[in-house]
């Protein structure tokens, strides 16, 4: 899974003092919590496990036990968080055969810097595509890569 996040115009949530409300709004805005679905498990996973225990690397079974849910549900939410690239995946256990997860760099702020770098690269790549598209428009290239000569006959 590659980096994927929703970037939209928004107002910073800086006056709210309730950490759960701020986290929920933030996670909805970036696309982790989907409107219309229950926020309970994704919010608890994010807050109770990764934010309040940033030093701990969590095994999937530990997360499932802690949140009283199934492994597939945990994996679904882990994959979403991994898509934002704010989690680290660590090999643990006998012969490093088990994967564990924790917030990248042990800090949400530092992990978010990593996500912002991805956003910057994505926007730069959009810019390159727009510049290329504009260049093709300027050359009069039409569908299929052929030069548009129909306009010149008029």
pLDDT tens digits, residue range 38-63? 999 999 999 999 999 999 999 999 99
The backbone torsions φ and ψ at residue 16, rounded to the nearest 5 degrees and listed phi first, read -75, 135
19 Cβ contact partners less than 8 Å away, ≥ 6 residues apart = 47
Domain ranges of the chain: 19-139
pTM of the complete model = 0.81
Mind listing the pLDDT tens digit for each residue in 73-100? 999 999 999 999 999 999 987 777 899 9
CATH 3.40.50.2300 corresponds to the domain 19-139: no
Instruction: Give the start-end residues of each E strand in 51-137.
Output: 58-59, 87-92, 98-103
Whole-angstrom Cα distance, residue 139 to residue 154? Answer: 17
């Amino acid at each position: 899974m590659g980096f994927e996040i929703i970037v939209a115009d928004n107002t910073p949530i800086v006056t709210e003092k309730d950490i759960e409300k701020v986290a929920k709004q933030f996670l909805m805005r970036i696309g982790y919590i989907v409107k219309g679905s229950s926020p309970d498990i994704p919010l608890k996973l994010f807050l109770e496990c990764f934010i309040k225990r940033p030093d701990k690397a969590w095994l999937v079974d530990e997360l499932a036990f802690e949140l009283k849910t199934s492994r597939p549900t945990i994996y679904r939410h882990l994959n979403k968080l991994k898509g934002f690239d704010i989690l680290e995946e660590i090999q643990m256990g006998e012969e490093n055969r088990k994967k564990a997860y924790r917030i990248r760099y042990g800090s949400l702020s530092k992990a978010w810097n990593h996500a912002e770098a991805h956003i910057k690269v994505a926007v730069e790549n959009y810019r390159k595509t727009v510049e290329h598209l504009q260049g093709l428009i300027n050359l009069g290239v039409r569908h299929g890569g052929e030069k548009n000569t129909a306009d010149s006959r008029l």
